[in-house]
Structures are given as C-alpha cells and as structure tokens.
Amino acid sequence: MRRGGILIVATLVALVAPALAQPPTAERPTYQAGDRWTIGGLAYELTGVDRHGYVFTAADGDALHLSRDLTVTKVVQQRASRSSSSGSSRTIRPSIACRSP
C-alpha cells in the first residue's frame, strides 16, 4: 500500500508543478518620438505615441500602427495614382489578432 501512496503523491506533484511555474516577465520597451526602425529596407520613424500604442511613419507616407505589445493593429499604405499626382491611400487592418499565450 505504501508504494501506491508514493505513486499517487509523485503523480500529483508532476501534475501541479507546471501549473505553479510562471512565465518569465519582461519590461515593455519604451519608445520616444524620433526613434527609427528599419523594416523591409524602409526606415520608419516614430511619429506618434498614445495610450493605445505607437505610429511609425516611413518617408513615402506608409504608416504602421502598433499596440503597446508591439502587435500590428493597422497598416496605411500610400500609393501614387497613375492618373493624377494627388495619390491615394489604402488602410489594411489585420484580420487575425495575435495574442500571447
């Protein structure tokens, strides 16, 4: 009977130990207006910070909107129109929200 008790205790410890482990935490980075990122060969400058996140803008007018967790919330692409010099813009919103486990 003693072996059965030890086996049960060992099994319970094995099941409970992973639940008690907590994922490591990291400080969120802080960014300031003027900070630059280079993505896909384009340099993006941080042009806006608010309570929702960050707005990085490229020289061609494209913009990346990121949450405080650095997930993409919105992409604005500036496209030059072939028929006029005024151009147009296109906003892309991600259809899948990425979340941490």
pTM of the model: 0.55
**Angstrom distance (rounded) from CA 39 to CA 47:** 16
**Angstrom distance (rounded) from CA 23 to CA 16:** 15
Per-residue burial over 22-33, b if 16 or more Cβ lie within 10 Å, else e, is: eeeeeeeeeeee
Q: Domain limits of the chain?
A: 32-96
Alpha-carbon distances, residue 26 vs 46, 69, 97 (angstroms): 22, 11, 21
Per-residue confidence in pLDDT tens, the chain, 101 aa: 566 667 676 676 666 666 666 677 778 777 888 999 887 888 899 999 888 899 999 988 888 899 988 889 999 988 754 444 455 556 555 544 444 44
Return the pLDDT at 26.
76
Return the pLDDT at 78.
84
Alpha-carbon distances, residue 1 vs 13, 15, 65 (angstroms): 19, 21, 63
